[in-house]
Amino acid sequence: MTQQNELTIRRPDDWHLHLRDGDLLTAVLPFTANVFRRAIIMPNLKPPVVKVADAVAYRTRILKALAGDTGFEPLMTAYLTDATDADELSRGHAEGAFTAAKLYPAGATTNSDNGVTDIGKIYGVLERMEEIGMPLLVHGEVTDPDVDIFDREQVFIDNVLIPTLQRFDRLKVVFEHITTAEGVAFVEGSGANIGATITPHHLVINRNALFVGGMRPHMFCLPVAKRERHRLALRAAATSDDTSFFLGTDSAPHLVSEKESDCGCAGIFNAPSALEVYAQVFDEEGALDRLEAFASLNGPAFYGMPPNEGKVTLKRGERPADDRLTVGSEEILPFDTGKSVLWRVVY
C-alpha cells in the first residue's frame, strides 16, 4: 500500500476548550482560531460564567482578542451552580448566548468551587434542559476523597450518570474528556443523546507519563491519565466508526509558575499541536480516513449544527515541539508528546 502523505478534511471544531481571559486569552487564542472554525468555550473563569450577560461579555472579549478575520466562532456555555435558574438558562439558550451548560461537580477540578454540590439540586434545571434540547456537558468525576483518583470516572458513571439518565432519558449529554474503557463502553451502549469528547493527550499518554524520571506537572490534567489499557480503548473509540465520539481538546493553559508548584494546577495546553497530534494517532491506527468524521462531522451532528464549509490540509513531515509562550513576565508550556509528531497543518 502506498503511504498517504497528505490529507484534506473539512475544517474541524473543538468541542471542549479553555481560553481563559485577559493576556492569557490573547496569547492562546490564535492557536485555536487558525485551525478550528468553532469551539465550545468552557465557563470556569474566576468568577465563572453563570449569567447570560456573563457569556455575552466573555464572547465579546474573545472576539476582540482575535487577530485578523479567521471566521472563528466561540460557542459559549453556562457554568451550573446549585443556584442556577432554569429561566435564565433557557433564555440564554433561546438567544444563542448559551450553546450548552457545563456540570462541574464542586471541587472536581480547576475553578470548580462554585460547581454543583449534589446533582439532585439541579433536577429542575436538567428537566428544563431536556425539554428545550440544551446539551449538558459533564465533567464526569466524583469528588469523594475516599474514592481513588483513578476510579473517579467509573464511580461517577455508576453513581451519578446512570441514575440521572434514568430520570432524564432524553437529556442530551456530552461526557467530556473520557479517560477510561468504562467511559467508552458506557457511551457505546447509550442512545444517540449521549456523546463524548476525547482529548489528544489522553490518546497519547498513560499515567506513567506523570512520573517519568520524576514528577511531571505538565502531564497533569483532570481527569488524570489512566492505565495503558484505557488509552488503547480511547484510541479504538476515537478511530472507530461510532459517531458518538468527537474532538474536544480540553486545551487548558496555566502559567508555568502555577504548574511547577507545591500544588500544581491541572491542565494541559495542547492547542498548538492538537489537530496534528490527532492526525498522528489516526495515522498510527491506520484510520486517517476516519479523522474527518471525528474532527469535523460527528460533533456538529450531535449539536445539530451544519459541518463547516472550509477545509484544512495536513501534510506528513516532522513537527518540531512548540516553544514556550511568553505572557507578560510569565510563561506557558505547550504539550510535548515526547515523541515525533509526523503531521503538520499546512497554512
Binding site for ligand DOR (CB under 6 A): 18, 44, 109-110, 139, 221-222, 252, 266-267
Instruction: Give the dihedral sign, CA 250/299/136/26.
Output: positive
Contact between 14 and Zn ion by CB under 5 A: the answer reads: no
**Interacting stretch for Zn ion, rule CB under 5 A, among 78-86, 114-122, 243-251, 333-341?**
243-251
Nearer to Zn ion, 54 or 250 (CB): 250
Nearer to ligand DOR, 109 or 296 (CB): 109
Contact partner at residue 44 from Zn ion, ligand DOR, none, CB < 5 to 8 Å by partner kind: ligand DOR
Contact partner at residue 239 from Zn ion, ligand DOR, none, CB < 5 to 8 Å by partner kind: none
What is the rounded end-to-end Cα distance, in angstroms, of the chain? 28
- Least distance in angstroms from the C-beta of 42 to ligand DOR: 6
CB 102 within 8 A of CB 80: yes
- Spatial CA neighbour of 308 closest among 82, 46, 83, 38: 38
| Residues 6 or more apart in contact with residue 66 via CB below 8 angstroms | 29, 33, 72
Residues in contact with Zn ion, shown as a per-residue x/- string from 137 to 176 under the rule CB under 5 A: ----------------------------------------
The size of the interface with Zn ion (CB under 5 A), counted in residues, is 1
Does the annotation mark 250 as catalytic? Answer: yes
Place of cell 496555566: 254
- Spatial CA neighbour of 202 closest among 149, 153, 249: 249
Contact partner at residue 182 from Zn ion, ligand DOR, none, CB < 5 to 8 Å by partner kind: none
DSSP code string of 31-57: HHHTT-SEEEEP---SS---SHHHHHH
CB 142 within 8 A of CB 119: no
Nearer to ligand DOR, 106 or 266 (CB): 266
Nearer to Zn ion, 41 or 287 (CB): 41
Report the C-alpha dihedral over residues 116, 120, 124, 128, rounded to 10 degrees.
Answer: 70
Contact between 250 and Zn ion by CB under 5 A: the answer reads: yes
Nearer to ligand DOR, 194 or 221 (CB): 221
The one catalytic residue in 13, 14, 54, 250 is 250
Closest residue to Zn ion: CB criterion:
250
Name the DSSP class of 24.
H
CB 96 within 8 A of CB 73: no
- Least distance in angstroms from the C-beta of 37 to ligand DOR: 22
Catalytically active residues are: 250
Q: Catalog residues that contact Zn ion under the rule CB under 5 A.
A: 250
